[in-house]
Amino acid sequence: MPELTLEDLDFDLPPECIARYPSPERSDARLLVCERALPQSPGVIDAPTPPANASATPCISRIRNLPPLFTRPALWVFNESRVMPARLIATRSSGGQVEILLASPLSPAASERRWTALIRGISRLKPGERLGLAGAEEAIVFVGRDVSSPGQGIVELPASRLSVMDWLERFGTVPLPPYLERSPEPADIERYQTVYASEPGSVAAPTAGLHFTPQVLSELKDHGHQLEFLTLHVGPGTFKPLGDLGSAHTISSDRLHLERFCIGAGLAAAVAAARSEGRPIIAVGTTTLRALESAWVGTRSAGALSEGPGETALFVKPGYAFKVVDGLLTNFHLPRTSLIALVMAHLGVAATRRAYALAIEHGFRFYSYGDAMLSVPAGLVHRPEARA
């Protein structure tokens, strides 16, 4: 198989295509519907020549039109992780400010106060230094640098009668991605969170789920679709460029940053039933896809989803043989990232390039607060008559 290069994952995106604010209504987000050719042979960097019905131009619709779009009911899997207010603006004794983005606790214990964090201004900090927060009686303590990752360190949150999550709710802010180039606003507290988020632990939203409303979820059920949930806590590495995973041009690594997930017994049973009944499985978001593929034990035709907690560093890139997921709903991603590599693995390299070019041509909104695309096997969706 040809080696994947950074150039394969690159594209030109006009700055005006970046959505810095969400659409007024979640389900008004536009949707680019793309049909992928199946089967895609393992070890082939792009799909073989697709059949005629799979090579048609992608259709443009909206998220609110999803429920009746499918030709048969599917199993939809969502990531119910909740975004923590993990961004902290701390002040040094000298008066200078330091921005801290909490990444993950050193242990899974709910009372864990030591966290790894990305720290803007870490080079100026000394181990043991105390960092104050506006309104907080106790300071954060900088423990030291994490030599394995530039800009990352360990901090200790103050002991408090509040739980860690309640303390963050009081003193933290929404960790908006830096490419939005703005500070969080009150509306982001609600909009940078899915309507079904329940398990706190993410520092970035599983953004494909931001488009769903209770009404759309209810209508999916009314059309016979089954909805299930898992938890994968999104870390800051999800947006990390891939330049450090290989040489200057090729990407040699098969592993990414580590993220924790949990698969419930109900989801495992639902996946088994869908497989036996021939119902397609749709992953809402790249995080959901990575968790499902990482938890699968066995081959696509003979395997099962493993229940319980797990960890994944899975790098899904062109040539990957999918074992669980048939369809993927996701946002439009940054160039030169693992996210665009995952989309190319599912839809195909050339087809992804065509889809992104079409999205740019038609003014789709990109990144976390942007629009969405749907990659599904040919014949699984009705082709919308009108463009919305």
Q: Which domains does the chain have, with CATH numbers?
A: 6-82+193-377 (3.40.1780.10), 86-172 (2.40.10.240)
Overall average pLDDT of the 284-309 stretch: 94
Overall average pLDDT of the 262-270 stretch: 97
pLDDT 10s digits, 105-138: 888 777 789 999 999 989 999 999 999 999 888 9
Q: How confident is the model at residue 237 (pLDDT cuts 50, 70, 90)?
A: confident
pLDDT 10s digits, 358-383: 999 999 999 999 999 999 999 999 87
pLDDT at 383: 73
pLDDT at 42: 34
**Which has more pLDDT, 207 or 57?**
207
Give the pair of three-digit tokens for residue 331.
């946002």
pLDDT at 240: 64
Q: Round to whole Å and give the CA distance between 293 and 237.
A: 19
pLDDT 10s digits, 42-89: 333 343 344 444 446 899 999 999 999 999 999 999 999 999 999 999
The DSSP secondary-structure symbol of 249 reads S
Displacement of CA 49 from its chain's centroid (Å): 29
pLDDT at 254: 65
Q: Round to whole Å and give the CA distance between 35 and 374.
A: 8
pLDDT at 183: 92
Instruction: Concatenate the DSSP letters of all residues of 134-201 into one string.
Output: TT-SS-EEEEEE-TTSTTEEEEEPPP-SS-HHHHHHHH-B----GGG-S---TTHHHHTS-TT--EEE
Q: Round to whole Å and give the CA distance between 287 and 251.
A: 21
Count Cα neighbours of 249 within 13 Å in the Cβ-side half-sphere. Answer: 2
pLDDT of 252 higher than 70: no
Q: Round to whole Å and give the CA distance between 387 and 30.
A: 10
C-alpha torsion sign, points 308, 309, 311, 312: positive
Q: Where are the alpha helices (DSSP H) in the chain?
A: 164-171, 188-191, 214-222, 265-277, 286-295, 338-347, 349-361
pLDDT at 101: 95
pLDDT 10s digits, 136-174: 889 999 999 987 777 899 999 998 888 999 999 999 999
pLDDT at 244: 52
Q: How confident is the model at residue 327 (pLDDT cuts 50, 70, 90)?
A: very high
Q: Round to whole Å and give the CA distance between 57 and 351.
A: 10
pLDDT 10s digits, 177-194: 988 999 999 999 999 999
Summary mean pLDDT of the chain: 89
Q: How confident is the model at residue 41 (pLDDT cuts 50, 70, 90)?
A: very low
Q: How confident is the model at residue 386 (pLDDT cuts 50, 70, 90)?
A: very low
Helix (H, G, I), strand (E, B) or coil at 102: strand
CB 155 within 8 A of CB 114: yes
pLDDT at 385: 53
pLDDT at 1: 52
Q: Is 269 exposed, middle or buried, given 0-12, 13-18 or 19+ CB atoms closer than 10 A?
A: middle
User: Torsion over CA of 315, 320, 322 and 326, rounded to 10 degrees?
Assistant: 90
pLDDT at 188: 97
pLDDT of 21 higher than 90: yes
Q: Which residues pair with 373 in a beta bridge?
A: 32, 330
Q: Round to whole Å and give the CA distance between 265 and 186.
A: 37
pLDDT at 46: 40
pLDDT of 102 higher than 90: yes
